[in-house]
Amino acid sequence: MTGVERIPILKIGDVLLASIQVDLQDRDVLALQEDLAEKISATGAHGVVLDISAVDIVDSFIGRMFATIAATSKLFDAHTVVVGMRPAVAITLVELGLTLGEVRTALDLEKGLAILAELGEQAPR
Amino acid sequence: MTREDIPIVADEDVVRVRQVVRSYAQRAKLSLVDQTKLVTATSELARNTLTYGGGGSAVVELLGEGRRQGVRASFRDDGPGIPDITLALTDGWTSGQGMGLGLSGARRLVDEFDLDTAVGRGTTVTVTKWSR
Ligand SMILES: Nc1ncnc2c1ncn2[C@@H]1O[C@H](COP(=O)(O)OP(=O)(O)OP(=O)(O)O)[C@@H](O)[C@H]1O
Ligand SMILES: [Mg+2]
């Protein structure tokens, strides 16, 4: 048995960034969900960016993680953006029939941060 | 090697299936999109084998038919079987906590899909994708 692979979570301003660089086992996915929830509540971050530019497949389990992270973040008044989805992954997701729920997507990190900044301005606090 | 057997008994075996299928799909010269579709389909099926079948095994094979090459992956378990195949293949139907997209989605992502199941005896799902 190998252990849980923990995805590092960086804080940039009031946004949390998690870059997925490895082929995730289901238990790594669950660990990331929990780590992000804790970190959002601890830091009061207003946004979460999931960078999946290095991810070569997204199946229903990983797709559900995106939706769960978005729903959890929302409870803490934070928005979630998935950035860097590869074209082959996007095509496959559509055919698989997966919808990402409330999850926003953006081409790259810069555009993702711009979306979060915009959402933050719409709902000032 | 043109055939590989992979036991599916734990989380990491699902990752292993994805890796083996990816390398076979590359050897069969599937396009990047077709590789991604096949790997995604097999990831779903391997997880079903683990979650619902109680574990089992996968066989991944490289196929050659004239100038066409392909990859076939078969997932077998001796679990409870699927009582209602039509229901199980319906988008959004799950008996557990899933999204009910694994089987129906996998079927859409491949060229050939075969489901063989018997209640109390187990389930075998075989998928094939060909190079174009
Ligand atoms: N190997 C299997 N053995 C027994 N039952 C199975 C097997 N594979 C699938 N099933 C049944 O078929 C249903 C549908 O499977 P499917 O993969 O489409 O959805 P899911 O696994 O429930 O959710 P998802 O894959 O979207 O996370 C399952 O809920 C389960 O009841
Ligand atoms: Mg499934």
pLDDT tens digits in sequence order for chain B, 132 residues long: 899 999 999 999 999 999 999 999 999 999 999 999 999 999 999 999 999 999 999 999 999 988 899 999 999 999 999 999 999 999 999 999 888 999 999 999 999 999 999 999 999 999 999 998
**Taking all residues of chain A, what is their mean pLDDT, rounded to a whole number?**
91
Torsion of CA B32, B36, B113, B131, to 10 degrees: 10
Number of structural domains chain B divides into: 1
pTM over 0.80: yes
Please determine, for residue A125, whether its predicted confidence score (pLDDT) is greater than 50. no
**Nearest Cα residue to atom 8 of ligand 1:** B48
Backbone angles phi, psi at A82, to 5 degrees: -100, 125
CATH value at residue B37: 3.30.565.10
Question: How many Å lie between the centroid of ligand 1 and the Cα of residue A27?
Answer: 19
Fold (topology level) of A9-122:
Transcription Regulator spoIIAA (3.30.750)
pLDDT of residue A24: 86
CB proximity A2 to B under 8 Å: yes
Nearest to B95 by CA among B74, B110, B79: B79
Ligand 1 site-directed mutation target among A30, A60, A96, most atoms within 8 Å of CB? A60
User: What residues flank ion ligand 2 with Cβ within 5 A?
Assistant: B 48, 98, 102
Question: How many Å lie between the centroid of ligand 1 and the Cα of residue B88?
Answer: 6
Instruction: List the domain range (segments joined by +) for residue B33.
Output: 3-130
Cα three-residue angle A36-A42-A46, rounded to 5 degrees: 70
ipTM of the complex: 0.93
Question: What does the pLDDT look like over A3-26, one tens digit per residue?
Answer: 788 899 999 999 999 999 888 888
Q: Where are the alpha helices (DSSP H) in chain B?
A: 11-27, 32-51, 85-88, 102-109
pLDDT interval class at A63 (50, 70, 90): very high
Nearest to A100 by CA among A122, A73, A69, A123: A69
